[in-house]
Structures are given as structure tokens and as C-alpha cells.
């Protein structure tokens, strides 16, 4: 979630990273609020103890990447879909070596395999739907009469 990441990045600006724990109980690499460490260091100086050494925490950064059509096609989770586009031998060999499993979630891989696509009547919730011949005739008649009414109305 982008909003949560932005909030987390904003809080990181108020924190530091412990580089040397001194005589404190903090761990090297631990993120701690700057104000807490400054107060702890004041107390440690008064007590003649080794202070905590730290550096500023660096928020995460990102940049958009525009993939070319080949890269985009080959970066899909479905190796069957990727193999149908380009570098077929390489994609199938890599998938075999890595023991990949294609869950056939997308339209493309289901068409390639010859299965119903996961859309319309191919949706899982409709796959086990069984109509009797009488129900099918009723539905066909309803559809035909609806089409007739629409033709008359136009």
C-alpha cells in the first residue's frame, strides 16, 4: 500500500541507525528515534560511559521503470504465457529446471492449454452448474423472446 509506505518513510526521517552501541543495550543496525538516543547519550556522558554512535536513517526511494514488450511478456508469473511470446525454449527449459508450477490463472495460458477461460461461464462459480434440458429450453425461449422484443422496439 503506497500510503502506508509513505507514512513509514516519513517516520524514518526522525530515526537514526546505531553504528556502535557504546555502553547501551541497543544493537548495531537498530533503528531508534533520534530524540531518545540524544537523551540516552546525555545520560551516558554524565555517567562517564561510552556513548552511542549513529548515522541518519535513509528513507526508501524508488523510480518507475518502463519495460519493453519483451521484458514485460517474459516477466509474467505464468511460464506458459511467457513461452508463447518469445524465447520459448529458454523459458520452458528454465521452468523445467526450477520445477515451476503454472497455476493457469490468466486468460492466455488457459487458451493455450485449451481450457475454459476464467471469465463468463468459465468462472469457477459456474463450472458445476448443471441445467436440465427443460431449464435450457426455458432459457433459450426467454432469450429468443427478449431478442424479438428488442427488434420490435427498434
List the chain domain ranges: 2-56, 69-103, 119-154
Beta strand spans in the chain (E):
15-20, 31-33, 53-56
Supply the pLDDT for residue 98: 92
Enclosing H/E stretch for 97:
helix 88-98
Confidence (pTM):
0.40
Mean per-residue pLDDT over the chain, rounded: 84
Sign of dihedral through CA atoms 69, 71, 77, 83? positive
User: How confident is the model over 87-113, as pLDDT tens digits?
Assistant: 889 989 999 999 999 988 888 888 888
- Which is more confidently placed, 61 or 48? 48
Amino acid at each position: 500500500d503506497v500510503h502506508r509506505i509513505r507514512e513509514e518513510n516519513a517516520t524514518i526521517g526522525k530515526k537514526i541507525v546505531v553504528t556502535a552501541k557504546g555502553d547501551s543495550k541497543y544493537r548495531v543496525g537498530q533503528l531508534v528515534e533520534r530524540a531518545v538516543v540524544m537523551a540516552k547519550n546525555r545520560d551516558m556522558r554524565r555517567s562517564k560511559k561510552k556513548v552511542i554512535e549513529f548515522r541518519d536513517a535513509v528513507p526508501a526511494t524508488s523510480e518507475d521503470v518502463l519495460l519493453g514488450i519483451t521484458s514485460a511478456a517474459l516477466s509474467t508469473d505464468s511460464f506458459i504465457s511467457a513461452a508463447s511470446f518469445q524465447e520459448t525454449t529458454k523459458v520452458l527449459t528454465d521452468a523445467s529446471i526450477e520445477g515451476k508450477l503454472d497455476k493457469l490463472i490468466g486468460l492466455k495460458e488457459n487458451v493455450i492449454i485449451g481450457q475454459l477461460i476464467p471469465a463468463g461461464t468459465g468462472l469457477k462459480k459456474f463450472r458445476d452448474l448443471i441445467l436440465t434440458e427443460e431449464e435450457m429450453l426455458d432459457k433459450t425461449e426467454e432469450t429468443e423472446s427478449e431478442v424479438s422484443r428488442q427488434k420490435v422496439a427498434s
